[in-house]
Amino acid sequence: MAMRQIDHWIGGEQRRGSPQSMFEVTDPVTGAVIAEVPMASPGDVDAAIGTARSAWPQWREASLSTRAAVMFAFRELLEQHRLELAETISAEHGKVRADALGELRRGVEVVEFACGVGQLLKGERTDDISSQHDAYTVRQPVGVVAGITPFNFPAMVPMWMFPVAIACGNSFVLKPSEKDPSVSVRIGQLFAEAGLPDGVFNVLHGDADAVNALCEHPGIDAVSFVGSTPIARHVHRTASLAGKRVQALGGAKNHMIVLPDADIGQAADAAVSAGYGSAGERCMAISVVVAVGAIGDELCEAICRRIDALRIGPGLGTEPVDMGPLVTAEHRDRVLSYIDLGESEGAALRRDGRGFTVDAHPGGFWVGPTLLDDVTADMKVYEDEIFGPVLCLVRVDSFDEAMELVENNQFGNGVALFTRDGGAARRFRREAPVGMVGVNVAIPVPMAYHSFGGWKDSLFGDHHMHGPEGVRFCTRLKAVTEHWPDPADRGVDLGFPTAR
């Protein structure tokens, strides 16, 4: 049987292009190669950007009503095809069906936000700012926006970017992860069915060469990126030097502080849900639980009981499961190496996911849920983003010590506090140097009407994604001053213009 081919989506159609090489897409459950995807050549990059550039002037002039109508139609098609899209995600990523459906739901929220583009692009106006002069501001699209997205949310993260960009009148080139690229092409097809003109949304597959080309290409005006911190820093530096507007979201090491007064059962539920959901392959996953005071043993035991009840298996199987495999063999091996490292550093393995397998699928990329206890801040398993089902438990004596851990960490993506103490919660949300804060909420990802983004080494650039910040990133502000003099008021004045 011929290998399935996944093509670029350029100008409203699938195109093979002239790839430099082909990347093999694997099924994480079985380890089998299920498709090939082309890695874009320089000519393919030029073709995608040139098509987006050519489509932009007409789309920029489309009325806000026209753009909103396309977004409403696109939203309906996403809802109609949500099960199909979720199964496409699961087949290539490995996450369970329910998790994939949740990913789509959060992405659709941004589409719904973008449907209100007529409200979002309203400017400000002041009549008679000086005698017979009126001033107002408008927001206009930046041009062609490139989105570079990771494997862990192949639908949601792109939908953090392109709905707002396109609704604001830009055209878009998406470079998805080569590990799970199919859903991006299917989204392009649905967008075309919704009435989006050809060339406004394009999908370009590729590797690091394609990323660098998008960052440096003169036909790109702005770059959005989500991925690891080293690559985020590189993208921000490279694209900025090329004169582009850039938002680059990097890595995370999200802490969840549990105070002695917290509901331990609620905290354990949250830690397991936020630590092992999507096999820990989330930038907002809780990867460090900080037990304050004498609750460490009780909290550890409660987490272990919940780990033991987790069901692990194929995300698209007939049996209900909570967690699937990791995305690739290479990523599985990286995660396993961190478990080895944690043990060698002196952490106590309360639950060990090494050697876990599913009998029916021994070739899958499995890692069982792992709990490392007695972790300290000088360990690599504490410092590094593992991005897998590995939860670290740190024990401290006081709230101040817990806050120091958050303050001293290089990342500032998300953080959570579990407590019944309103004063502690208020201090926490005011003082935590982190972009997204949860109080009794383990994964504080904001709804689409607010913006997503971290601080410190979790964000490079000035703008967060989607919400009001997304609109600001995708548009340029223009100030207009108009003078319509009374016909009877004429004359030359060589003085410097002032308000009077």
Domain 254-439, second-level architecture: 3-Layer(aba) Sandwich (3.40)
Q: Residue 489 pLDDT > 90, yes or no?
A: no
What is the 8-class DSSP label of residue 278?
G
pTM of the model: 0.95
Task: Report the pLDDT averaged over residues 337-345.
Answer: 98
Task: Report the pLDDT averaged over residues 479-488.
Answer: 88
**Angle at CA of residue 149, ends 148 and 154, nearest 5°:** 145
Task: Report the pLDDT averaged over residues 172-191.
Answer: 98
Contact 356, 180 (CB under 8 A): no
Report how far residue 85's alpha carbon sits from residue 153's, in angstroms, rounded to the nearest whole number: 12
- The average confidence (pLDDT) of the chain is 96
Residues facing 35 on adjacent strands:
4, 25
Query: Residue type for 137, please?
Result: T
Q: Which pair of structure tokens corresponds to residue 153? A: 């949310």
Lowest average pLDDT, out of 100-114, 123-137, 480-494, goes to: 480-494
Question: Residue 500: what pLDDT?
Answer: 57
Report how far residue 483's alpha carbon sits from residue 175's, in angstroms, rounded to the nearest whole number: 46
Task: Give the closest residue to 307 by CA, choosing from 385, 368, 374, 373.
Answer: 368
Task: Verify whether residue 168 is a known catalytic residue.
Answer: no
Task: Give the closest residue to 240 by CA, choosing from 460, 476, 474.
Answer: 460
Report how far residue 63's alpha carbon sits from residue 129's, in angstroms, rounded to the nearest whole number: 29
Q: Residue 289 pLDDT > 60, yes or no?
A: yes
Task: Report the pLDDT averaged over residues 213-238.
Answer: 98
Report how far residue 21's alpha carbon sits from residue 44's, in angstroms, rounded to the nearest whole number: 12
Task: Give the closest residue to 18 by CA, choosing from 222, 194, 205.
Answer: 205
Residue appearing with tokens 């790109």: 220
Q: Measured on CA atoms in the order 228, 229, 230, 235, is the torsion positive or negative?
A: positive
Percent of residues, the chain, with pLDDT higher than 70 = 99
Task: Report the pLDDT averaged over residues 477-498.
Answer: 83
- At 485 the three-state DSSP class reads coil
pLDDT tier at 487, thresholds 50, 70, 90: confident
Q: Residue 496 pLDDT > 90, yes or no?
A: no
Question: Residue 491: what pLDDT?
Answer: 73
Instruction: Tell which wins on pLDDT, 54 or 485.
Output: 54
Task: Report the pLDDT averaged over residues 381-407.
Answer: 98
Question: Residue 131: what pLDDT?
Answer: 86
Query: How many helices (H) and strands (E) in the chain?
Result: 16, 23
**Angle at CA of residue 289, ends 281 and 306, nearest 5°:** 75
Question: Residue 1: what pLDDT?
Answer: 53
Lowest average pLDDT, out of 152-166, 192-206, 481-495, goes to: 481-495
- Exposure letters 119-158 (e unless 16+ CB within 10 A, then b): ebbeeeeeeeeeeebeeeeebebbbbbbbbbbbbbbbbbb
Percent of residues, the chain, with pLDDT higher than 90 = 95
Task: Report the pLDDT averaged over residues 126-132.
Answer: 91
Report how far residue 210's alpha carbon sits from residue 178's, in angstroms, rounded to the nearest whole number: 11
Contact 19, 183 (CB under 8 A): no
**Angle at CA of residue 372, ends 367 and 374, nearest 5°:** 175
Strand order in the sheet with 144-148: 13-15, 8-10, 201-203, 171-175, 144-148, 222-226, 245-249, 459-461
Locate CATH 3.40.605.10 in the chain: 4-250+458-480
Q: What is the pLDDT of residues 426-467, one digit of tens each?
A: 999 999 999 999 999 999 999 999 999 999 999 999 999 999
Q: Residue 499 pLDDT > 80, yes or no?
A: no
Report how far residue 403's alpha carbon sits from residue 414's, in angstroms, rounded to the nearest whole number: 13
Task: Report the pLDDT averaged over residues 337-356.
Answer: 98
Question: Residue 454: what pLDDT?
Answer: 97
Q: Out of 168, 283, 300, 392, which one is annotated catalytic?
A: 283
- Please state which CATH class domain 4-250+458-480 belongs to: alpha beta
